[in-house]
Amino acid sequence: MEELMTFFKNRIADAQKSACDLRADGREDEAALEQIRGNIYGIFVSVIETGTTHTGSPEELKSFFEKNLERIPSGWVIARDKARERGDTVRVVQEEVKLNAIQEIRDAYRQFCGDAS
């Protein structure tokens, strides 16, 4: 999990730098999306930290992480679908940024820790 944590922290730093660069360019909407992406990685840094504190074995930590990897984004799918129904394009894009970040997190988890759904 250490490699995964490092990966997440690097992604957070990348998103923060990108958001700053975009703001400097006057591209506030894109900067806000980068900030959202960084926040999603931050959530999963917290998941790992919490799991490390409250689980007793690497297997329990992996299980805790995988459960949160499914639980946390479930509301974002619902929010995206409702936004589509309302024609709220901004909200749809925001929720899709979150869901894309989750897919990146799943891919990184597979790469560093093994299988995840």
pLDDT digits 0-9 by tens, 1-50: 899 999 999 999 999 999 999 999 999 999 999 999 999 999 999 999 99
Question: Structurally, how many domains does the chain consist of?
Answer: 1
Confidence of residue 114 (pLDDT cuts 50, 70, 90): confident
DSSP conformation letters of 34-49: HHHHHHHHHHHHHHHH
Amino acid at residue number 50: T
Determine contact, residues 22/30, Cβ cutoff 8 Å.
yes
Range of the domain at 54: 2-113
Determine contact, residues 5/48, Cβ cutoff 8 Å.
yes
Classify burial at 3, counting beta carbons within 10 Å of its beta carbon; exposed 0-12, middle 13-18, buried 19 or more. exposed
State yes or no: pLDDT of 115 exceeds 80. Answer: no
pLDDT digits 0-9 by tens, 68-111: 999 999 999 999 999 999 999 999 999 999 999 999 999 999 99
